Structure 1
Amino acid sequence: MITFYTITNWLLIFSYWLLIAGVTLRVLIKRRSVPFAMAWLLIIYILPLLGIIAYLSLGELYLGKLRTKRARTIWLSTSIWLRNLKSHQDFYDKQNSDIAQPLFQLCEKRQGIAGVKGNQFELLTTSNSTLKNVVQDIQLALNNIEMVFYIWQPGGLADDVAKALMAASRRGVHCRLLLDSAGSVEFFRTDWPNLMRNAGIDVVEALPVSLLRIFLRRMDIRQHRKVVLIDNHIAYTGSMNLVDPLFFKQESGVGQWVDLMARIEGPIATVMGIIYSGDWEIETGKHIPPPSVLNHTTLPLKKTNDHTILVIASGPGFPKEIIHQSLLTVIYSSKKTLIITTPYLVPSDNLLHAICTASYRGVDVKIVVPRHNDSILVRWASRAFFSELLESGVKIYQFEGGLLHSKSILVDGQLSLIGTVNLDMRSLLLNFEITLVIDDDKCGRELSRIQNEYISQSRLVDALLWSQRAYWKRIIERLFYFFSPLL
């Protein structure tokens, strides 16, 4: 009997260490960044069983067998469509500014598409104006409406959008709605999904969250895009979820969310539609055929006040780390000014180094973040980066007019990046995201005006006072910094 228990104990111990060794080897062979790998290994060694479960659930970029297969197939067909689009040279702007040229070259090589010209562009700075414009455009829709959002929360003006969408569907407009399961959990608990489906809208819950799927797919990969497409001609994207700020997260104590959205008319909407069709097929297995004929009716060109726009789509199935590489490219391209607004500042080591290097080169670098954040983890982790940024001369502004949720970058007043990407590892390496790039000084001046309005409502972080902050705060910052590769 003693021999049996001894053997059993040794087998359990051997199995335990074999499991840890196996997961350790798995972490190392994935060739992740050193901070990322070290963070996971320390978690696994400090909390072995919980750490192993966490790593198998969250540690690897795994979309699931079926979705991964669809994603690979979709990118091949999308690449063919984009190559065919190249034959319509009148849609492309062959001239880019010196600041934009490296980024446009990168994206053309990796995504197969350059900047598309002939677009009308407008920045919307309030949720009211965005939602009312969306309702008006839905009411005028003739053929198709596609939407994808991370969060749709009923209430206020969001309900007006839902009613307009149902009315459009009843009059024969084909409406598709793709909502992230985790972000829109409250929406799927209401009667709205059934009401919409009864009205003829295709409502799909993207990347369903379930304990049964936890080992079949990484649960924290999320559909984070925010896009509205109407008749392959009008498009919206930016930082705003489909919510009315008066009804959204009022209990969090951070004030109303402040967002930035872009409304575009022109051929870039069709390119964004190709991205949407990929997302739809990954989730449903159903293909949305692209426009069969690319002509001036399908892709209307405007000669006056037109903008050249590049779309960067990132996430599973799209070129690996494309948005991370794009951000590094524009930061290293900056010569005079660099202004960044982001709600979550937890950059990779490479991005942090690029930002600091830009400041050391003499670039006037400003970063605007919310003073109060809805995420305690991110709030403390982001502050761990402040010291290094301040030491390099970066100006950090803490916005006090609510939760600044705008995600924008302006380089030398010429190159504007607006979209859904946060400066954190989740947006950079995991989620489905979308970013617009506009190479135009007029748009740059408008974005600069908006960013300066944010700065006027912000408090500049004093480098000397920051260096004298309480020691216990530094400990908490470093503790959460440890988890920054996982945030």
Structure 2
Amino acid sequence: MEKFYQIVALAGVIGYWLLVASVTIRVVFKRRAVSVSLAWLMIIYIIPFVGVLLYFLFGELNLGRKRAERAQSMFGPYGDWFTQLHECQAHQPNLLNLQLAQIHDLCTNRTAIPALCGNTLSLQDTPDKILRSIIEDIEQAQTNIRMEFYIWQSGGLIDSVNSALIQAAKRGVNIQILIDSAGSPKFFRSHWYNIMREAGIDIRQALEVNAFRVFFRRLDLRLHRKIITIDDEVAYTGSMNMVDPEFFKKDAGVGEWIDVMVRVTGPTVNVLAAIHAWDWEVETGERHFPTFPVCTIETNGALHPIQVVPSGPGMPENLIQQVLTLAIHQAKRSVRITTPYFVPSDNLMQVIKMTAQRGVTVELLLPKKNDSLLVNWASKSFFSELLEAGVHIYQFDAGLLHTKSVVIDQQYCLVGSVNLDMRSLWLNFELTLVVDDYEFTKELYWVQENYLNQSTPISKERWEKRNFAHRMLERLFYLFNPLL
């Protein structure tokens, strides 16, 4: 019997060694950043069995066979739809400034989505202003409403949004709502979900979470976009989930979430509706192209060009990080960044440092308190390098700064759902707008200035005095970079 147990133990050791060896080979041969591969190898070797399991669950970008096949078959039809936009009057590539022109060229070559002119933009920076504006537009809806969010949680003014949607459905408006399954479990268990469905609203769970699907699709792949389009004439996008901050995560100890949304009219609305249609088809298999935009613009009016930049599985890889890199590289005087989660890739980290080192003022605004312990400590592991390079780091004291924005030279900006972490840049379905509009950018810069006035700067001298335990926690959580 003792010999039998010895044989079983030896077989187990050999089996585990073969498993680790095969996973190691798989990690090494995947084409991605060397630091990500090394981090995964550390996790696999340091945490026996669990490390291998974590890699199978989270280590590779796996959309699932059915969704991946749909996405592949959709490239042609959606590419044709976007390509038609190149022929309309709102597409004025020769009138774009050099900075946006380069971003436009990148995006059109990779996605066929062009920058379009003839838009109007309104920056909304308080929850009350955002939600009341959305409610008012829903009440005016005549034909269709498309919405998608990561988190949808009832309470406060969200109940009024729900009620407005129900009334719209009753008067015949076609409503399609796509909500991430992992981000909104409370909503799908709430009475509002059932009432809205009974009213005729088509609500679908995106990337549904259950135990069976763990083996066929990466579990932490999420729909993180925030999009509303109404009658293909009005749109909203930005960083705010469909939540009322006065009623959301009040026990998390991070304060109220701080966000912005952008209200858009003009041809860019139809592009945002097409992104929603893409996501809807990937999830359901149903195709609902938006109306083609009325592309005429006033020849003497301001251009207000906007480049829509989507990313996610099934779309061109790494596009948003490329756009961010290109925008920061082009800065001549200043770059100001706000993000709640900061765990950059090596490439983005080097771009930020080099931009500061060539004399550009680079300011990074992060929340002092974060709802993610892992990200909170992993972010701090980058501070020493950034401060040494001359980057100015500020910690926002008045809540969880959730706004995702970049202002370049106070001339143009990027705003959307994208965090500066590996999850947003490499994994999730995300969306950002590149806006070349001086007045809008100035307004966003003033909002950032208000954040700055409520923040505490981190000096290089003070940061170097942090204790040994603090430094060890930074490095420990940095190892989990690929999971963040």
TM-score (norm 2): 0.97
Question: Number of residues paired by the alignment?
Answer: 483
Identical aligned residues as a percent:
47
Mind listing any 5+ residue stretches in structure 1 that lack a counterpart?
none
Q: 1:9 to 1:373 in 2, by over 3 A?
A: closer
Q: CA deviation at 1:202?
A: 0.2
CA deviations 1:438-458 (Å, max 9, x no partner) are 112222211111111110111
Is residue 2:408 matched to residue 1:436? Answer: no
Residue of structure 2 aligned with 1:382, choices 371, 379, 383: 379
Distance in 2, Cα, partners of 1:14 & 1:89: 66
The equivalent residue for 2:285 is 285
Distance in 2, Cα, partners of 1:436 & 1:207: 24
The equivalent residue for 1:393 is 390
Q: Which moved more, 1:111-120 or 1:4-13?
A: 4-13
Distance in 2, Cα, partners of 1:90 & 1:116: 5
Distance in 2, Cα, partners of 1:414 & 1:236: 22
The equivalent residue for 1:453 is 450
Instruction: State how 1:88-103 maps to structure 2 within 5 Å.
Output: 88-103=88-103
* Contact 1:267/1:301 (<8 A) preserved: no
2:374 partner amino acid: L
TM-score (norm 1): 0.96
The equivalent residue for 2:337 is 340
Distance in 2, Cα, partners of 1:375 & 1:170: 40
The equivalent residue for 1:403 is 400
Distance in 2, Cα, partners of 1:223 & 1:78: 19
Distance in 1, Cα, partners of 2:415 & 2:92: 20
Is residue 2:468 matched to residue 1:484? Answer: no
Distance in 1, Cα, partners of 2:455 & 2:74: 44
Q: CA deviation at 1:2?
A: 6.4
Mind listing any 5+ residue stretches in structure 2 that lack a counterpart?
none
Q: CA deviation at 1:4?
A: 5.1
Q: 1:119 to 1:90 in 2, by over 3 A?
A: closer
Q: 1:198 to 1:464 in 2, by over 3 A?
A: same
Instruction: State how 1:257-296 maps to structure 2 within 5 Å.
Output: 257-291=257-291, 294=292, 296=294
CA deviations 1:378-417 (Å, max 9, x no partner) are 1111111111111111111111111110000011111210
Distance in 2, Cα, partners of 1:107 & 1:413: 22
Is residue 2:58 matched to residue 1:50? Answer: no
The equivalent residue for 1:76 is 76
Q: CA deviation at 1:306?
A: 4.7
The equivalent residue for 1:13 is 13
Distance in 1, Cα, partners of 2:98 & 2:32: 33
Q: CA deviation at 1:354?
A: 0.4
* Contact 2:88/2:296 (<8 A) preserved: no
Q: CA deviation at 1:251?
A: 0.4
Is residue 2:319 matched to residue 1:322? Answer: yes
Distance in 2, Cα, partners of 1:234 & 1:361: 41
The equivalent residue for 1:120 is 120
CA deviations 1:256-278 (Å, max 9, x no partner) are 11101100011101011111101
Q: 1:60 to 1:129 in 2, by over 3 A?
A: same
3-state SS in 1 of match to 2:118:
strand
Instruction: State how 1:164-203 maps to structure 2 within 5 Å.
Output: 164-203=164-203
* Contact 2:239/2:260 (<8 A) preserved: yes
Instruction: State how 1:231-242 maps to structure 2 within 5 Å.
Output: 231-242=231-242
3-state SS in 2 of match to 1:186:
helix
3-state SS in 2 of match to 1:368:
strand
Q: CA deviation at 1:18?
A: 1.1
The equivalent residue for 2:367 is 370
Q: CA deviation at 1:83?
A: 1.4
The equivalent residue for 1:219 is 219
Q: 1:300 to 1:194 in 2, by over 3 A?
A: farther
Q: CA deviation at 1:209?
A: 1.1
1:440 partner amino acid: D
2:271 partner amino acid: V
The equivalent residue for 1:472 is 469
Q: CA deviation at 1:305?
A: 4.6
Distance in 1, Cα, partners of 2:297 & 2:211: 49
Is residue 2:339 matched to residue 1:354? Answer: no
Distance in 2, Cα, partners of 1:309 & 1:434: 13
Q: CA deviation at 1:107?
A: 1.1
Is residue 2:159 matched to residue 1:162? Answer: no
Instruction: State how 1:248-263 maps to structure 2 within 5 Å.
Output: 248-263=248-263
Consecutive aligned runs of 4 or more in structure 1 exceeding 6 Å deviation: none
Distance in 1, Cα, partners of 2:42 & 2:483: 12
3-state SS in 1 of match to 2:229:
strand
CA deviations 1:430-483 (Å, max 9, x no partner) are 000000111122222111111111101111111111111112111111111121
Q: 1:92 to 1:231 in 2, by over 3 A?
A: farther
1:265 partner amino acid: T
3-state SS in 2 of match to 1:63:
coil
2:339 partner amino acid: T
Q: Which moved more, 1:440-449 or 1:92-101?
A: 92-101
Q: CA deviation at 1:486?
A: 2.2
* Contact 2:150/2:184 (<8 A) preserved: yes
Q: Which moved more, 1:357-366 or 1:206-215?
A: 206-215
